[in-house]
Amino acid sequence: GTKKKAACPGLGLFYTVLSAFLFSVASLFLKKIEDVHSVEVSAFRCVFQMAFVLPGLIYYKTGFLGPKGKRIFLFFRGFLGSSAMILLYYAFQVMPLADATVITFSSPVFTSLLAWIFLKEKYSIWDLLFTLFAITGVVLIARPPFLFGSNVTGIEGSYTDHLKGTIAAITSTVSAASTFVILRKVGKSVHYFLSIWYYAVIGLIGCVIALFVMNEWRLPYCGKDRVLLILIGLLGLGGQIFLTKALQIEKAGPVAIMKTMDVVFAFILQILFLNHLPTWWTVGGALCVVASSSGTAIRKWRQSLKKAKENEI
């Protein structure tokens, strides 16, 4: 028989770095938009997602609702996933880019905790240690006044906005972790395109309702903001495609570790284009969060390798 052509070594990790770069640039463009609410930006992102996924649904003949027994899971996946995106975009707009990125990077730690609660997956003392490290990192970035005093430096705007952004980023992280748990529960019984479809449709409906309630729906006044909106949609879509391709040809552990480049790119772009130097508190928090998420990823990777060897035996 014909031999399958070997994949280029390191291609999956390259895709991961490229995905991280595209997501980071999209976040930078979000900071540059002046007169568009984060919910409206999320609505445009959902439109791009729908336009990309619709041909795939038709081609693979998956339908638009999915299996009857899985629709409730798909609904919550869409609701929580879109909520995570909206809250993340809000956090990017009201707090430093690196701070918001670091907080959301703690998602793997919360995923392990929620998987232990809802899926009865193993949760060891190491997982608890990584969770505490992540919480420490978030506290160093948030710097609550009752611990650090009233004079908080290195933030954008008022501390009230910084605190709101921190809460939004944490809630976004927990929501994203919840979607991962739901996707684990669903497994491979639902096509990947259908999962994104629910995410985009429910997100768009929620965004439109929220915009009319808040009376925030408006087209950007200048051409620059309109171009940035389109670029955010394209870059976000490209980042998701390359991350998916990376997970298809590379193990999840190395991909999760390489995703630490999200934090690196966020720091670089913040310094170069936003002229905002991160404080040592942010750097310390970033080290704690990156250490905890990398430790979680390495541990899960080693467990999967060990299970694979046992299955071979």
pLDDT digits (tens, 9 = 90+) for 14-40: 888 998 899 899 999 988 887 788 888
Give one DSSP letter per residue of 154-176, joined into a string: S-SS-HHHHHHHHHHHHHHHHHH
Other beta carbons within 10 angstroms of residue 256's beta carbon come to: 20
Q: In this predicted structure, what is the pLDDT of residue 18? A: 92
Domain boundaries, given as residue ranges, for the chain: 11-312
Give residue-wise pLDDT tens across range 75-97. 998 899 889 888 988 898 888 88
**36-62: per-residue pLDDT in tens?**
888 888 888 888 888 888 888 888 888
Q: Which among 85, 72, 140 is positioned nearest to 281, based on CA atoms?
A: 140
Could you tell me which of 262, 235, 286, 294 has the C-alpha nearest to residue 112? 294
Mean pLDDT (whole number) for 107-128:
83
Which pLDDT value is given to residue 21?
A: 93
Cα(265)–Cα(268) distance, integer angstroms: 5
Query: Which pLDDT score, from 0 to 100, does residue 59 have?
Result: 85
Pick from 116-125, 132-141, 204-213: least confident? 116-125
pLDDT digits 0-9 by tens, 122-161: 888 888 888 888 888 888 887 776 566 656 666 766 778 8
- pLDDT value at position 304? 74
CB of 63 closer than 8 Å to CB of 187: no
Q: What pTM, to 2 d.p., does this model score?
A: 0.81
CA-to-CA distance for 98 and 266, rounded, in angstroms? 5
Q: What is the torsion angle, in degrees rounded to the nearest 10, for the CA atoms of residue 126, residue 132, residue 133 and residue 137?
A: 160
pLDDT of residue 205: 92
Residue 91 near residue 168 (C-beta atoms within 8 A): yes
